[in-house]
Amino acid sequence: MISSNDFKTGVTIELDGDVFVIVEFQHVKPGKGAAFVRTKMKNVKTGAVVERKFNAGEKVPKAHVERRDMQYLYKDGDHFVVMDNENYEQTSLTGEQIGDGVKWLKENMIISVLFFGAKVIGVDIPNSVQLTVTATEPGVKGDTATGGTKPATVETGAIVQVPFFVNEGDVLIIDTRTGVYVQRA
């Protein structure tokens, strides 16, 4: 159990059978009445952000979330097979468990898998990845003056908007949080 007075950003708690991570918190002591803690919490499973007030000193069960580094091996139908780097045990994850990160997964990539007990509750992929362009239209000389972009398909199948000077075979660095081209590698 953790007291609401000990809340900090990043602390995980368990409420109504779900796991929440505290995104923001504020201790409020009004002129009249008892003090309380105003929080913004993110549901780890759904990603929904919830605001809630807790009385000062209220006890809440702390969720023990384990983070394990795993290596993505391959896709098997609708499942993605990952291997624990410590005991070499393989686990099969669904696309829902991985979320939007599916389109950036590259074989042999190291990802962090979040466990609550024995259940997978989420996956964190690196903030940026290096991917090779497999298909894009060639840039026309003189088009670079406008600073426009064109679509490019990368090796994972994702489509990214890139500058006109990017060609097939170029290795790009892409921000996985926004899906935006950063630079050529």
CATH number of residue 89's parent domain: 2.40.50.140
The reply to whether 108 and 69 lie within a common domain is: yes
Could you give the 3-state DSSP secondary structure of residue 17?
coil
Rounded Cα–Cα distance for residues 115 and 4 (Å): 24
The reply to whether 139 and 177 lie within a common domain is: yes
Burial label, 152 (beta-carbon count in 10 A; 0-12, 13-18, 19+): buried
CATH number at residue 21: 2.30.30.30
pLDDT by 10s per residue, the chain, length 185: 888 888 888 788 888 888 888 888 888 888 888 889 899 988 877 778 889 998 888 898 888 888 888 999 988 888 889 998 888 888 888 887 787 788 888 888 998 888 877 778 778 888 888 889 988 888 666 655 566 788 899 988 889 988 888 888 888 899 888 888 888 87
The reply to whether 112 and 154 lie within a common domain is: no
pTM of the model: 0.67
Instruction: Give the residue from 76, 103, 124 where a domain finishes.
Output: 124
Number of folded domains in the chain? 3
Rounded Cα–Cα distance for residues 105 and 47 (Å): 20
